[in-house]
Each structure stands twice: as C-alpha cells, then as structure tokens.
Amino acid sequence: MKKTIFLTGASGSMGSEAFKELLKRRERFNIVLLLLPGAKEKRAFHKYKNNEGIKIIWGDITNYENVLQGVTGADYILNTAAIIPPLADRYPELAAKVNYDGVKNILQAIQAQPNGCQQIKFVNVASVAMTGDRLPPIHLGRVGDPLKPNLFDHYALSKISAEREVIESGLKYWVSLRMTYIAIPNVLSLLNPIMFHQPLATCCELITKRDAGFMIVNTCEDHIPETFWRRVYNASGGPNTRFIYHDYLQQVMKLLCLGEFKKLMEDKWFCRRNFHCHFFEDAHLLNNYLHHWRDTLQDHYQQILEESPLILKLYRSSPLRYLIHPWIIKNLLIKPKAYAKDGPMGWIRNKERERLLAFFGSDQNQTFSLVKEEKKVGKPFHLNHGYNEDKPEKDLNINDLQTAAKFRGGYCRAVKMKPGDLRTKLEWQCAFGHIFKASPYLVLKTGHWCPVCDLSPWNHSEIATKNPFFAQVWNRY
C-alpha cells in the first residue's frame, strides 16, 4: 500500500528537490503539497494539478485549516517551508508565523488525527543558525552544544522555539534536522548584502540542494529503524564539503572567471562575528541512516558551472571578458551590495551602532587585517556539555541531571527520576530564577535550556556570567 507524504515548502530550494525525489518514487508514495497560491508557484506546479497520486492544496502553513487538510490521511510530514534570511531579517513577524506558528499548526493537526501522535511521522527542518557564531577555535560543533541565536537573528529564534515544540510534543515519531548551508548553484541569487554578514574566517560544511532533498525523502523509506526517531541531528554533506568562507569566495570568483578575490572585494566589507555555520563533528550519525553523502565540495563547484545563468556562461566563454577590468565588476556589481542599507558598510554610513557592536564588536573601528589565506584552521576546542556523555542513556539518573543543570547555572527541581527516562518532563530553574518544565533529553542532549533565556533579547553577556555552559560559546569573543 502506498504511503502518503505531506510536503510543505515544495517551491523552495530544499523542498523543490524533495519533490523531485518524491516524483521518482511515485510507485511507493502519494504526494500532497501545500503551496502558496502565488503566480510563481502556480506556473511551476500547474502541470501536476491533475496527476494521479499528486494533490495540491493552495494555501498557507500559517492557516490551520490548510495544514489540517494536508495532515489528514498523511503517513509522513516533511516540513521544508520557512522564511529564511534576508527576508526573515526584514520581516521578523512573518518569520515567526511561518517558522514557529506553522510548526505548531502541524503538531496540532497531528494531535487531531485518530491515533496521530502514535502513527504519523514528522520531519522538522531546523537550522545551524540556532547555535550561532562559531568561529575558531569553537568551529567544530555537535548536537547538544549551547544554543546561541545571533543578535538580530529572528530566523534562529523562530527555529529554536519550533524545535522545542517538536521535541516536547509527545509524538512517538519525530525528528529534527539542523540543516547547514544548502548550496545554491546559481550564485547570482546569493549576490545580496547578507553575503557580507558572514566573517571570512567562518568554517562551513555545506550540503547541495540535491542531496538535501534526497536526504529528507529518505526518512520516508521502510528501512529506517525505530532508533532513528525522537532525535535531533546535524545535517550536512559531510567532511568532503567543508570550506572556509574566504577560500570559498576566492574559488567561486575564479570559477566564474571574474577575477581574484582581493581585486573584487575588500576585507573591511565583511563582518567580524555574529553569523553562523561551523564544521560538524557528528553529521555522520544522520548519514548512517539516510546515506545522503553523495556530492562533495568539488561537485558543488561543478554544479555552479553547469547551472550558472546564461549571462555568466556567455561571459565565461567569451574572449571579451578579458576587456572587462575587475574594477568594473567590483564597483558596479559587488560594492553596491556591501554599501546597501542591509550591508555592513551601509550600517557604518548610517551609524547603526547596535548592529556595528553586534557584527564588528565595536562602533569605532572597522579597520582589520585580512584573514590569513589558508585552508587549515587550528585545533578545535571541544565543548563540555556538563555531564558524563559516555554514560549510556539508560543509566542517566537524577544526579546527572543535577550536574548538568549546575553547569548551566541552575538546578533541577525534581528530587527523583526513573533512570534512563529522558522523555518525562521535569521542573528546572535557571540562574535568573525562571522556572520551567523540560524533558531531560531536551536539556542534556540538544542544547536547549531555559525557554526565556534562550529567547532573551540577546543579553548574552549577562547570561554568560551565570551560565558556564553558555559562556563557552560567548566569552571567546
């Protein structure tokens, strides 16, 4: 019997690739799509509206009735719908509605189904943005590291809130995939002021959009065991997709025959902190289940060449490109993005003090020496999670919880727990006196802590003075 897959966000980069994968497996899957009734979506999906085994719901994830229609009868829910930066930066309320309220609508719709909490499988797409700025030496991360939404990052805040809802939902089958940078071959689409928000020394482990779609659809296959579910995973393309941002830009400029990085961009255009991405220590755990590590960094570069817009292909193949001086490309194409309202130089020009403090560490001096042009980074600092991680989950007890809570500046108010029961919610208190309920799995295994402090108005310095766990990722700057 065919399984029914409810996919949201099928017009996005990851969702569109997931839809392509589902089409390849139509002999096993019925497909239900929730799509915005926009002109772009209707043009792209019009040809599928009468196809057997494909149902299109024209609606919005923020509308509960639309979501309920998609969830009803579904065996799996793949939620790739999201408002991401830079749109999320400009419209934070919209980001919260789609990224957080949308997930709550899905959970409510699952709970409304007969035995839905025990049968329907929900795949939540979270983000590496939740752990924030992880420049060297803390550039190697794993699930369970502190959550640290960057200042002004409303996208990260919405994803943190949504993942917490999923983890604590009581569903028998859920999984949260913290997606890394999903690489888009059309690099012109990335020519945006946000490209300068990322420090040149950022370490990143990408995944191609092809592999991202392949990965999420693989969660629907029968061979996936019970042990896969009720877990949070880091999701990337693996160690063979790692790069340092400066080197990545340099290679892309070279591939497109635009010129050398140092002739096209200036170091001062780039922020010095307050972005996200890092290498993953534990991404192999997800690959062991889904086997999605296919493309490498070199494959991504090849995809850039093959899928570049026609204008770039013509430029690369034309001898006339030698007549175009790098100064023209720099000053007419790239520099305006750095000096735009949302660009770092725009912030300096408009004296946006809070953003300069957040992204540069100072509002007085934005003159810095160029990051070293090398592909090697130093030995990473391994973060402490505040309890014995080598201890089997079945043996974790109230003492482990108290130890972990103390390292977070608070304590577990419960006096007992059943050893190994990481799913029953207990009462905790943070260093600022906030009392909350959370499962031991949420606290020990995922990096979540106090729901108030995790979403605080970015008072990271104050939190770090009382929370040694969090201080590991804040005091290094």
Task: Report d(CA 341, CA 247) in Å as an integer.
Answer: 26
The predicted-structure confidence for 90-132, as pLDDT tens digits, reads as follows: 999 999 999 999 999 999 999 999 999 999 999 999 999 999 9
CA angle 145, 148, 150 (to 5 degrees): 145
DSSP 232-255: EEEE-S-GGGEEEHHHHHHHHHHH
| 3-state class percentages of the chain: helix first, strand second, coil last, to nearest 5 | 45, 15, 45
Residue of 207, 95, 237 whose CA lies nearest to 162:
95
**Beta strand residue intervals within 173-299, DSSP E:** 174-179, 182-183, 203-205, 207-208, 231-235, 242-244, 279-280
Alpha-carbon distance of 41 to 64, in angstroms, equals 20
The pTM of this model reads 0.95
Whether the Cβ atoms of residue 21 and residue 78 lie closer than 8 Å to each other: no
Q: Name, in order, each residue with C-beta under 8 angstroms of 257's C-beta and a sequence gap of 6 or more.
A: 315, 316, 321
Which class is 3-184+205-238+278-293 in CATH?
alpha beta
Which residues make Cβ contacts (< 8 Å) with residue 438, sequence separation at least 6? 168, 425, 426, 428, 448, 451
Q: How confident is the model at residue 431 (pLDDT cuts 50, 70, 90)?
A: very high
Rounded to whole angstroms, how far apart are CA atoms 99 and 7?
15
User: In which region does residue 407 sit, left (phi positive, over 0), alpha (psi from -120 to 50) or beta (all else)?
Assistant: alpha
Distance from the first to the final alpha carbon of the chain: 55
pLDDT at 368: 45
pLDDT in tens, 179-212: 999 999 988 888 899 999 999 999 999 999 999 9
Do residues 410 and 430 lie in contact, with contact meaning Cβ atoms separated by under 8 Å?
A: yes
Domain range list for the chain = 3-184+205-238+278-293, 393-471
pLDDT in tens, 211-257: 999 999 999 999 999 999 999 999 999 999 999 999 999 999 999 99
66-80, 356-370, 452-466: lowest mean pLDDT where? 356-370
Residue 396 near residue 422 (C-beta atoms within 8 A): yes
Residue 140, H or E segment: strand 140-141
